Chain A
């Protein structure tokens, strides 16, 4: 006797897949812009950044079940992206990372103490309306050895705390701060070595970085 074909019911596996797809869509919608921004800052080139974003979300999709929710979703994604970025770089076999020593950042001539770029009297936003300055800053960051660039991008550009950066890159806070400091000094030196003319008449904005401590 022929048994009737069972009515097509969703299997636990297909239900699971549907749930994962729905969660993925939310994850993707909420974080794709953030990850693209991060990837662009790390890689510089838009096409490489897109590859990195895809790799990141593909790994996130596959590892979604392992996300325990004890970290912020964005920190988890940053960590996936950071690992994917290291893998992609290893494939491209770039120059090995060099260590930055504090001694190399001690100014040796009078002109090196200040930035040779038009920032005085301008807010950072106003100063960055100068395209040449944006390009010089991008180039300075791109020149950083990659492990220093990773920390600077996460802390000063993405706005993570030193502790969060540590959990993304697998370092303690002290090591993060040491790397960050050298990265900042490196970028500062690059900016002080550049001569950029003011491209626009000065604005009547807030004085650039007055006050503080």
Chain B
């Protein structure tokens, strides 16, 4: 998220210098960007900016990684016995004698 005049350098990354207003404007669009939901022109504009701003590019990559980790985070499963016990409890509660 730096001004477009910033030149990209692999060895020395420029500091994060653009104003807060610009940052929020870019930040706002990033989920739509990674979800492929931005209209073509906006997407192109953002892509150009990312190409010129290594910090922003890293930020987007880290957001993408975050989403991918959430999507793949494993969840615990119930045992067969727990499943059966819970079913019986539900039916007992649903049909009180």
| Contact surface of A with B, Cβ cutoff 8 Å | 17, 21, 24-25, 28, 32-33, 36-37, 40-41, 46, 50, 53-54, 57-58, 61-62, 102-103, 105-107, 110, 113-115, 119, 124-125, 127-128, 133-134, 137-138, 141, 152, 156-157, 159, 177, 180-181, 184-185, 187-188, 191-192, 208-209, 212-213
Contact = CB atoms under 8 A, between A and B. Distances in A.
Contact of B24 (A57, A106, A113, A115): A106
B71 A156 contact: yes
A47 to B, nearest CB: 11
Closest 6 A/B residue pairs (Cβ): A181-B31, A124-B72, A37-B75, A188-B66, A156-B70, A113-B58
8 contacts: A32-B78, A37-B77, A119-B65, A156-B71, A177-B31, A181-B28, A191-B69, A213-B47
The DSSP consensus for interface residues of chain A is helix
A103 B68 contact: no
Given A181-B31, A208-B65, 4 more contacts: A25-B87, A124-B68, A137-B73, A188-B66
A127 B69 contact: yes
Contacts of A62: 94
A184 B16 contact: no
Contacts of A185: 27, 30, 63
Nearest to A41: B75
A209 B68 contact: yes
A22 B61 CA distance: 49
B30 A113 contact: no
Given A36-B77, A208-B65, A57 B90 contact: yes
Size band of the interface chain B makes with A: 35 or more
Given A32-B86, A58-B90, A113-B59, A209 B64 contact: yes
A110 B23 CA distance: 15
Contacts of B28: 102, 181
Given A50-B86, A61-B90, A184 B73 contact: no
Q: Which of B34, B55, B69, B94 neighbours the largest number of chain A CB atoms within 10 Å of its CB? A: B69
A110 B55 CA distance: 8
Contacts of B86: 32, 50, 53-54, 57
A105 B30 CA distance: 12
Interface in B39-97: 43, 47, 55, 58-59, 61-78, 82-83, 86-87, 89-91, 93-95
